[in-house]
Amino acid sequence: MHRIFEVIFFEKPVMIQIRVCKNIPEGSSIVVLATAVSDFGKCGLSADEANYVKTQIEAKSDFIPLNRNGQWFYIQPVDVKNTAVSEKEKMRRDACKLHQIIVRQKIRSLFIFDAVDNAALACAFAEGMALSNYQFLKYKGKRDEEQYSLSDLIIVGNVAQKEIDQLNFVLEGVYKARDLVNEPASVLTPSKLAAEFEAMGMDAGFEVQVFDKAAIEKMKMGGILAVNKGSTEAPTFSILEWKPADAKNKRPVVLAGKGITYDTGGHNLKTDNYMDDMKDDMAGAAAVAAAIYAVAKSQLPVYVIGLLPSTDNRLSPDAVSPGDIITMYDGTTVEIANTDAEGRLILADALAYAKKYDPELVIDIATLTGAAHRAVGDHGMAGMGNAPLETMELLKNCGKEVHERIVEFPLWDEYAEELKSDIADLKNIGSENAGMITAGKFLEHFTSYPYIHLDMYAYAKETRNYQGKGGTGYGVRLLFEFLKRY
């Protein structure tokens, strides 16, 4: 195994650890998840306070704050008539709203009292609070002053420790993915990204193998090498493997993630403000690595492999040009019609490489096209594939569960017609219409197994609920939930 890192250059994320307890110390700050018929005496409210709260809940208040000589109670109404999935997402979003108040009041420890006896809702509220507490302060001069006060979340209720452990591992994975996306491209080179994958593997106990440029050249991965031609940084191709002895699947689930550490568009140079957040173009690779990290930490009995090609896409005299023809890992020749359609080139090499594992299923995830973002906006991701219907439905249901929803698009054969080249086997871009589908159809050419393609947006320019501003960590919770249920 080839290891390339000398030092682990990222700091461990500053994050909340969620835990469970039975009793609440006197004077603690408490969130009470409740309905109008809950027993408020159990969480320490007086009869008068309980009557007031019940009246407010019946009046449909969002949440009810009570201050008893400096001790804060926050009553969070729960709608038991709502669907479980919808109410869980409401808990996450309401936690985010309350988080702003918690921070202003500089509360350090917060107890979550489950007065509705619903562990799933209690965990969802804690999840929303923890995700809202994320900050990227590495480059702040006064980060100690800006650090949020909240550091401890304690659920008081009937929640299994295994469920809390898994939630903590997933949250840690999301934090790691966000950190990676938020790092500037001048720091997060392909080799340093691979080094972080190795560090994650050492921490969580999964295997990591990194191929350097010489190895990539030897394997003739023409897609990765073509995109890398304009760069001064060498590419990498990382393979992550979690194969526990009790794995339920003998053939692996393979996850492939796009790892473009910065995308200028190459000769098809991005214009206006389309380049300002292009450090996020490795968010797919970050999501895959972070999901496998959480899977390994949770000891899930699933055999999973991650394939993570990485380079940046720069403009230089040596950069690949429109009209060039390249030869991919599987021998397919591709005419470069647009150098800004680079992510599919590196992913295609990874997808062709996946064939050697005879996988049960392959899912790739990428910030691949602006077309997907225009179609779905910030509220989900585009998905398509040829996997069995029940597999896609499971993935879509997992997306609903964690509110990283998938809008399914077709992969009809007609879209392949747009990718025909007069001088090569394929060209790397179709017409101006349905760009997310022709991108998926291009990638499908390199597969020979059940396959799903996810095209996501993973960077928020403004704060949006618990996903925050900057890197969102999108995809980590979805992939973990899918692998947990697989």
At 8 the pLDDT is 45
Helix axes 119-132, 84-104, angle to 10 degrees: 40
Q: Which of 176, 192, 344, 400 is catalytic?
A: 344
Which residue ranges make up each domain of the chain? 17-159, 183-485
First to last CA, the chain: 29
Closest CA to 48 of 66, 26, 61: 66
Residue 222 has pLDDT above 70, yes or no: yes
Per residue in 46-82, pLDDT (tens digit) is: 999 999 999 999 998 888 999 988 899 999 999 988 9
Cβ-based neighbours of 322, under 8 Å, separated by 6 or more: 267, 268, 336, 337, 338, 339
- Give this prediction's pTM: 0.96
Residue 418 has pLDDT above 90, yes or no: yes
| Active site annotation includes 344 | yes
Residue 1 has pLDDT above 70, yes or no: no
Residue 3 has pLDDT above 60, yes or no: no
Per residue in 192-207, pLDDT (tens digit) is: 999 999 999 999 999 9
Report how far apart, in Å, the C-alpha atoms of 217 and of each of 17, 214, 238, 336 are. 44, 5, 14, 19
What distance in Å separates the CA atoms of residue 278 and residue 96, rounded to the nearest whole number? 27
Closest CA to 212 of 229, 191, 197, 228: 191
Average pLDDT, the chain: 95
At 280 the pLDDT is 96
What distance in Å separates the CA atoms of residue 364 and residue 307, rounded to the nearest whole number? 9
Element (H, E) at 172: helix 161-182
The bridge status of strand 381-385 relative to strand 459-460 is: unpaired
Residue 202's SS3 state is helix
Q: Which of 93, 97, 243, 270 is catalytic?
A: 270
What distance in Å separates the CA atoms of residue 354 and residue 305, rounded to the nearest whole number? 9
| Active site annotation includes 485 | no
User: Contact, 53 vs 75, CB < 8 A?
Assistant: yes
Q: Where are the beta strands (DSSP E) in 145-185?
A: 152-156
Per residue in 138-186, pLDDT (tens digit) is: 999 988 889 999 999 999 999 999 999 999 999 999 999 999 999 999 9
At 70 the pLDDT is 86
At 80 the pLDDT is 86
Per residue in 314-330, pLDDT (tens digit) is: 999 999 999 999 999 99
Per residue in 5-23, pLDDT (tens digit) is: 444 455 555 688 899 998 8
Residue 421 has pLDDT above 90, yes or no: yes
Question: Superfamily assignment of 183-485 in CATH?
Answer: Zn peptidases (3.40.630.10)
Cross-strand partners of 310: 236, 259
Cβ-based neighbours of 310, under 8 Å, separated by 6 or more: 190, 193, 194, 235, 236, 237, 238, 259, 260, 261, 282, 285, 346
Closest CA to 392 of 436, 346, 439, 450: 450
Average pLDDT value for residue range 425-429? 98
Percentage of the chain beyond pLDDT 90 is 90
Interior CA angle at 259 toward 256 and 262, to 5°?
160
At 5 the pLDDT is 47
Residue 461: how many other CB atoms lie within 10 Å: 11
Residue 382's SS3 state is strand
Residue 42 has pLDDT above 50, yes or no: yes
What distance in Å separates the CA atoms of residue 304 and residue 346, rounded to the nearest whole number? 20
Considering the domain 17-159, what is its CATH architecture? 3-Layer(aba) Sandwich (3.40)
User: Contact, 442 vs 344, CB < 8 A?
Assistant: yes
Per residue in 260-310, pLDDT (tens digit) is: 999 999 999 998 777 888 999 999 999 999 999 999 999 999 999 999 999
Residue 329's SS3 state is coil
Amino acid at 239: I
Residue 152 φ then ψ, to 5°: -145, 125
- How is residue 131 written in tokens? 């995700």
